[in-house]
């Protein structure tokens, strides 16, 4: 089947509501979309290069889109929702609430200076070299995610996510990975309070962990050759855990079961509040 030639729109400016509504096979270059709503809604096979988006909801219900070297201003809030099979690279996204209910998304070298409430309810996500600031509640209820070299500053990240693999990342975020399932993080820094509470099958490999009360109420928690910062105290409360730690653990409190090994412990707290079976083995090596 022959590939359909795209209609080319170069250097034009649009405003108002739905100026390019329900179009297909468009190539946009140097296009500016001013204030308005739903500029490219219900469209398919769209390629946008060096464009500027200022209006709300430009890419809703779109199929197969590629966005390169574009700028989404703060006014382009909630820009891409309910869309499928999209790619974005080398873009700056100042708009909050980017990406909702997406299926199939690839991001590379994208910068989000105001990333709060971004990437909610999305599936099949691939990300590489992405930076998100002010990323509160990023990735809420998303699943099937692969991430490499992600720099995040923002709290309550990855809550209720499933099937996530993260590598080589720097996550400055409290309350991360709450009630997640099947998450693995390799070779990363995770710094923030109350990490991984109520998670299932959370696995951390060669990670450095900071912040008070990490990894409590977790089920089937695994740590391999991880280190704790000095403020990562009161760890593992009521968790089932298998952990081999490098260095000293500041304090352990009432793990439910499993095995923990470290070079040393600042404090081990085992009291009458420990939940059954209360048989976690805590060892040194």
Supply the pLDDT for residue 5. 83
Residue 166 Cα to chain centre, angstroms: 9
Whether residue 2 is predicted with pLDDT greater than 80 in this model: the reply is: no
Residue 271's H or E segment, with its range, is none
What are the Cα distances from residue 173, in Å, to 30, 149, 190? Answer: 36, 15, 7
| Among candidate residues 113, 163, 108, the one with its CA nearest the CA of residue 138 | 113
Whether residue 258 is predicted with pLDDT greater than 60 in this model: the reply is: yes
CATH 3.50.50.60 is held by the domain 1-95: no
The CA-CA-CA angle for residues 87, 91, 97, to 5°, reads: 80
Q: Can you give the C-alpha Rg of the chain in angstroms?
A: 22
CA distance 87 to 80: 11
Per-residue DSSP letter, 230: T
How many percent of the chain have pLDDT more than 90? Answer: 98
| Among candidate residues 45, 113, 109, 37, the one with its CA nearest the CA of residue 79 | 37
pLDDT single digits (tens) 58-99: 999 999 999 999 999 999 999 999 999 999 999 999 999 999
Residues 6+ apart with CB under 8 A from 223: 203, 204, 205, 207, 215, 241, 242, 243, 244, 245
What does the mean pLDDT of the chain come to? 97
> 3 pLDDT band (50/70/90 cuts)?
low
Q: Regarding beta strands 181-186 and 80-81, do their DSSP bridges make them parallel or antiparallel, or are they unpaired?
A: unpaired
CB 86 within 8 A of CB 60: no
Whether residue 1 is predicted with pLDDT greater than 80 in this model: the reply is: no
Show me where the domains of the chain are located. Answer: 1-95, 174-285
Supply the pLDDT for residue 281. 97
Residues 6+ apart with CB under 8 A from 1: none
The helices-and-strands tally (H runs, E runs) of the chain is 0, 30
Class of residue 24 by CB neighbours under 10 A (exposed 0-12, middle 13-18, buried 19+): middle
Residue 81's H or E segment, with its range, is strand 80-81
Span between the terminal Cα atoms of the chain, in Å:
64
């Amino acid at each position: 089947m022959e590939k359909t030639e795209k209609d080319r729109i170069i250097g034009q400016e649009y405003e108002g509501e739905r100026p390019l509504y329900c179009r297909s096979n468009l190539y946009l270059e140097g296009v500016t979309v001013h204030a308005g709503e739903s500029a490219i809604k219900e469209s398919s096979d769209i390629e946008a290069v060096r464009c500027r988006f200022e209006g709300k909801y430009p890419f809703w219900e779109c199929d197969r889109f590629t966005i390169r070297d574009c700028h989404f201003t703060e006014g382009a809030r909630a820009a891409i929702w309910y869309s499928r099979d999209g790619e974005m690279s080398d873009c700056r996204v100042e708009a909050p609430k980017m990406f909702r209910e997406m299926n199939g998304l690839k991001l590379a070298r994208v910068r989000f200076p105001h990333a709060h409430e971004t990437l909610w309810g999305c599936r099949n996500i691939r990300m590489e070299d992405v930076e998100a600031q002010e990323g509160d509640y990023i990735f809420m209820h998303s699943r099937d995610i692969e991430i490499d070299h992600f720099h995040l500053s923002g709290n309550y990240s990855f809550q209720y996510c499933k099937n996530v693999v993260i590598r080589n990342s720097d996550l400055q975020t409290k309350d991360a990975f709450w009630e997640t399932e099947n998450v693995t993080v390799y070779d990363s820094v995770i710094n923030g309070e109350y990490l991984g509470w109520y998670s299932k099958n959370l696995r951390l490999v060669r990670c450095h962990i900071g912040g008070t009360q990490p990894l409590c109420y977790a089920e089937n928690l695994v740590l391999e050759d991880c280190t704790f910062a000095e403020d990562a105290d009161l760890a593992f409360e009521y968790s089932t855990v298998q952990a081999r730690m490098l260095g000293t653990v500041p304090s352990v409190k009432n793990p439910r079961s499993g095995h923990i090994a470290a070079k040393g412990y600042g404090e081990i707290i085992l009291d009458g509040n420990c939940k059954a079976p209360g048989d976690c083995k805590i060892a040194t090596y």
